[in-house]
Amino acid sequence: MHYLVRESVVDFCHHLDMSPAPLLAFLGVTFLLPGAQTLRCQWGTIETVRNVSELPLEWTTSQTDCEADEGCRETLVLIENGPQVTLVLTKGCTEEKDQEAKITEHRAGPGLSIISYTRVCRHEDFCNNLPTTTPLWAPPSATVPGTLQCPLCFSRGDCPENPPKQICPAGYTHCYNGVLKFRGGGIASNLRVQGCMPQPGCNLLNGTQVIGPMDVSENCSPKSGVEVLDCKRESSETVRNVSTFPVEWTAGWQTCEIGEGCQDTVLLIVNGAQVEVVITKGCTEAKDQEPRVTWHRKGPGLSVVSYTRVCRHRDFCNDLSTTEAFWTPPSSADAKVPGTLHCPLCLSRGDCPESPPQQICPAGYTHCYNGVVRLRGGGIISNLRVQGCMPQPGCNLLNGTQVIGPMDVSESCSPQSDTLTCHLGVMWRVRRDLSQEPVDWEASALQECNPGEVCQETLLLADPAPGQKSLLVGSKGCSSPERGNAPTVSIHSSFPAIIVASYARFCSSNLCNSASDSSVLLTSLSRPDAPVLGYLQCPVCVQFGESCSQDSSVITCPANTTHCYKGDIETRGGGFFATFGIQGCMPASSRSLLKKVQKIGVFSVEEHRSTRPRSGAPAPYLAWAVGLGSCVALWCGGFHLPAKSIFP
């Protein structure tokens, strides 16, 4: 009986796009929902071209933890082309419904053939455990050769100008020449295919558009000037040891606008045994440019080398994936005779240590470099502190270079002044689970501070009840200095009351306000179990920019709450001037959320409690027009009951 009640409630709540947990608790159904547990799934992708003689193939994959209600998926595609076969494998988590193992023959051979295996499961951890091609593929039987000969090509790049020929089976009348595109499930690949087909046309996929999590398509026409490109996409920077070179990497992908090309830029700054690696790939409006390797400064000592390219001749043409193509560490035979000068050694995106390690400079080197290299563009925002050996005085590590690919580059060697550069932006979110799941908190703009100012980052969270939408606002920028540089997390009000918590940090080095997500706050919050519900009913609401309305949704409160709260928090500073309306349940020991706190990080706050809606609440004013996060207003909360307000 309980199972039937539970399943009926779950279906009813999902139909209304609301959480079933409060209603189940109200009905006395307290056991876990089937989707409440999280699964662990096999995870990974493989793309490879192999000889048919090597099949069956086997593999191992990594593993990952899924979100609640997600299942495990696996998809395998085999494309046979004469003596070659392409394997595409993707495994991971998915929100899709369960699907029994399914084998689909999209095109039967001989000649070109495509077969796939798909499955979605939730019955146990690692249920997406297909380890081999054996269930999917068997060697083809011998065929009678015909007279037609077609080019043979399977390549994720371009086919050769004069590919090898294959003799097609008897009855085959046409040669296929096209590009198969796979997008999704961690796969972003273009496969160039040439082979034998029994009929004309561009229909190798036989009308298939989706295989598992992947969208699939094909194109047999030369790329025209109005078609859009797909490009590799990446922006990263890291300091590596020379001993780890050559460095390899993988990248995501993006679809460009009409007329845009693909850009590839890699910058290496070599300083003794350390190398700063900066990679940026993506779409660009710049004109095509052949691959170019530029030595902006050649060592020994400090050296700077870059690789740049812009192309439009095919999707993913910006596919450089290793430094080996343009730089390898010098051998010991090339080592220069050491001199007598010792210089500090530092390569850091923060401050250099007060007593950095010393390095012996090459003979003939006369000066120690101490400067900041600034990189801006292509998704890169970085201030790199550099100390090392130079053959002459001056602030000229870049040798006059001002642009590298999409990045503007500059350097400064003046002593560090009272002015800082800080990340700048405001962020706000309204949705469920903000107190449980971290959200991105990155600002794409920078701010040059006034003398004496420091960098700041501040988060403020308001969560009125489990399962309800909550509010998170954040600010980064310059600020007057506050006491101490250590991050501060404050719990102003905690469960079973409305949760109000904050994170604040003031710091005094360039770009130090660099927290990338809200986990800096969430890791300090307790995770309450599903509450036992009482009899008190309260309106529940959190509203950005205005007070809560009189027709707010009503929930049943936890058993140890005694009254309803309704109020506003006025917030000023850090780019905000806004009112946040809040309603929810409170225990007898709590009447205020902020307990007379008037300063939270960069925010000045003032709490107004009321028994009726306050009129004239100011509309939100955002002083900075940069870094705004999107707001997804979702309500998926408790059991709706007749409105009944009980305020202190």
Per-10-residue mean pLDDT of the chain, 648 residues long, equals: 40 45 42 58 92 90 89 94 91 94 90 92 94 85 88 87 90 92 88 91 90 91 67 92 91 87 96 93 94 91 94 91 89 73 89 88 90 89 89 90 93 71 90 88 83 90 89 92 75 89 90 90 81 88 86 87 91 87 89 89 88 39 38 29 34
Same domain, yes or no, for 250 and 304? Answer: yes
Within-domain flag for 175 = yes
Same domain, yes or no, for 265 and 306? Answer: yes
Within-domain flag for 227 = no
Q: Peptide bond before 110: cis, by omega within 30 degrees of 0? A: yes
| DSSP character at residue 10 | H
pTM confidence score? 0.56
Could you count the other beta carbons within 10 Å of the beta carbon of residue 13?
18
Is residue 310 within 8 Å of 288, Cβ to Cβ?
yes
User: According to the model, what pLDDT value does residue 405 have?
Assistant: 95
User: According to the model, what pLDDT value does residue 483 have?
Assistant: 58
Same domain, yes or no, for 209 and 267? Answer: no
Within-domain flag for 224 = no
Same domain, yes or no, for 173 and 303? Answer: no
User: How many helices, marked H, and strands, marked E, lie in the chain?
Assistant: 3, 40
Same domain, yes or no, for 506 and 601? Answer: yes
Within-domain flag for 225 = no
Within-domain flag for 81 = yes
Same domain, yes or no, for 395 and 452? Answer: no
Could you count the other beta carbons within 10 Å of the beta carbon of residue 285?
12
User: According to the model, what pLDDT value does residue 485 have?
Assistant: 63
Same domain, yes or no, for 347 and 400? Answer: yes
Same domain, yes or no, for 267 and 389? Answer: yes
The residue out of 368, 386, 412 marking a domain boundary is 412
User: According to the model, what pLDDT value does residue 258 have?
Assistant: 86
Same domain, yes or no, for 23 and 60? Answer: no
Domain count across the chain = 4
User: According to the model, what pLDDT value does residue 69 have?
Assistant: 86
Same domain, yes or no, for 79 and 164? Answer: yes
Distances (CA, A) of 303 to 265, 349, 394: 17, 17, 15
User: According to the model, what pLDDT value does residue 418 have?
Assistant: 54
Listed residue (519, 375, 531, 408) closest to 461, CA to CA:
519
The residue out of 189, 219, 249 marking a domain boundary is 219
Task: Give the CB-side neighbour count of residue 638, counting CA atoms within 13 A.
Answer: 29
User: According to the model, what pLDDT value does residue 335 have?
Assistant: 63
Within-domain flag for 639 = no
Same domain, yes or no, for 142 and 204? Answer: yes
The residue out of 386, 412, 438 marking a domain boundary is 412
CA distance 640 to 69: 24
Same domain, yes or no, for 161 and 133? Answer: yes
User: According to the model, what pLDDT value does residue 14 have?
Assistant: 44
Could you count the other beta carbons within 10 Å of the beta carbon of residue 506?
24
Within-domain flag for 638 = no
Within-domain flag for 417 = no
Query: Six-digit token pair at 546?
Result: 């205005």
Cβ neighbours for 141, distance < 8 A, ≥ 6 positions apart: none
Task: Give the CB-side neighbour count of residue 120, counting CA atoms within 13 A.
Answer: 14
Domain span at 265: 232-412
